[in-house]
Amino acid sequence: MMFVVETHDLGYRAGSDFEIAQLNMHVPAGAVYGFLGPNGAGKTTTIRLLLGLLRPAKGAITVLGQPMPQASVSVLARTGYVPERPHLYPTLTVAEAIDLHAAFHARWDKPWASELVSRFDLPPARRISALSKGETGKLMMLLALAQRPELLVLDEPTDGLDPVVRRDVLEAVLDYVSAHSATVLISSHLVHELERICDWIGVMDQGRMIAELPMQEFKAGIKRIRVTAAPRDAGNAPFTLLARASLNGSGEEWLVRGWEPAMRAFFDTAGASVREVVDLDLEEGFVELLRSFRSPLPRT
């Protein structure tokens, strides 16, 4: 598998109370990779490291096949970026901001930029300072997409936008990916939104990558298993036990990762029985994964 973004044992420290430690990240070519994590998990810091805006203390970063930050000039020429906070000159009009941005990008697609102005219903003569938050978000997406990037990096691109604007922005991203086989790294805390558009998922917490896998595998593999006569020791289980809790005398509920139907045999051989297997959506799986990471089961 080819990776457009890859890190190896990446390390970075910001002050005395936050550290990214031994981060290994792999974004497949052509994927829409959802980068999930609570506020303060390190997502924005990681993105800044990937783009050469921060320098790592240790480890290696490869983006579009080139080392970062050493190759930042050539890599950023092929990368579209929508940062967490707007970075536009407020005194410029929409048209002036587009012209200014176009001057720095050799791959700029002027006809498509004009098409996006119309599609996003942006007022060309209006100053950026007078735009609504939704209009500003759409303009920033236009500036990133009109570069015709091979890699599109989006840091909370729809945060605070209303549902209609979010839909317009994400549809434009998906249309671009479909037409140009681009790779997208999108960071968000809106889990339900990523569930609709992403085919890969990475979950980060406290500066560490705690899960990274295809979206369908993530959704299919985390289950709540309700068990009667549950075995005390799960050390040889074929799945990862994330949490277990009593069901008030009627058995136990286990939260497991990596579940497959054939794994019922583990309980059968231990004299237990599976009463129910409950599917979790992405948001439930995300919350439970964070909970188990922060409060791991004691080793047996």
pLDDT at residue number 297? 65
Residues 6+ apart with CB under 8 A from 216: 199
Residues 102-141 have pLDDT tens digits of: 999 999 999 999 999 999 999 999 999 999 999 999 999 9
What percent of the chain has a predicted confidence (pLDDT) above 90? 65
Name the β-bridge partners of 212. 202
Confidence band of 142 (pLDDT split at 50, 70, 90): very high
d(CA 152, CA 150): 7
**34 pLDDT more than 90:** yes
Residues 6+ apart with CB under 8 A from 137: 157, 158, 161, 165, 169
pLDDT at residue number 6? 98
Do the beta carbons of residue 35 and residue 204 sit within 8 Å? yes
Do the beta carbons of residue 150 and residue 81 sit within 8 Å? no
Instruction: Give all strands of the β-sheet with 240-246 in edge-to-edge order.
Output: 240-246, 252-257, 222-228, 273-279
Confidence band of 295 (pLDDT split at 50, 70, 90): confident
**Which amino acid is present at 111?**
P
**209 pLDDT more than 80:** yes
Candidates 163, 213, 149, 153; CA nearest to 185 is 153
Mean per-residue pLDDT for 163-176?
89
pLDDT at residue number 282? 83
Residues 143-155 have pLDDT tens digits of: 999 999 999 999 9
pLDDT at residue number 300? 46
Residues 247-283 have pLDDT tens digits of: 987 899 999 988 999 999 999 999 999 999 998 888 8
What percent of the chain has a predicted confidence (pLDDT) above 70? 99
Strand ranges inside the chain, DSSP E:
3-14, 18-28, 32-36, 58-63, 66-68, 79-82, 151-155, 183-188, 200-205, 208-214, 222-228, 240-246, 252-257, 273-279
User: Which pair of structure tokens corresponds to residue 95?
Assistant: 């048209």
Across the chain, mean pLDDT equals: 91
Residues 72-88 have pLDDT tens digits of: 999 999 999 999 888 89
Q: How many CB atoms lie within 10 A of CB 174?
A: 14
Q: Is the peptide bond before 111 cis (omega within 30 degrees of 0)?
A: no
* Ranges 52-66, 170-184, 187-201, 229-243, most confident: 52-66
Higher pLDDT, 149 or 300: 149
Question: Among the CATH numbers 3.40.50.300, 3.30.479.10, 1.10.10.1110, 3.40.109.10, which is that of 3-206?
Answer: 3.40.50.300
d(CA 152, CA 144): 7
Q: Where are the domains of the chain?
A: 3-206, 217-294
Candidates 163, 141, 162; CA nearest to 152 is 141
